[in-house]
Structure 1
Amino acid sequence: MKSSNRIRGTTREIEESARRLRKQLTPAEEILWQSLRGRKIGQLKFRCQHPVGRFIVDFYCPSAKLVIEVDGGIHSQQQSYDQARTDELQTFGYHVLRFTNEEVINDLSNVLLQIAKFAQIEFFP
Structure 2
Amino acid sequence: MPENLDRGPFYHGTKAKLANGTFLTAGHHSNYNKNVVMNHVYFTALKDGAGLAAELAQGDTPPHVYLIEPTGPFENDPNVTDKKFPGNPTRSYRSEYALKIIDEVEDYQRITAEQKLYWQAKMANPKPKSEIIN
* The structure with more helix, counted as a fraction of residues: 1
TM, length-normalised to structure 2: 0.28
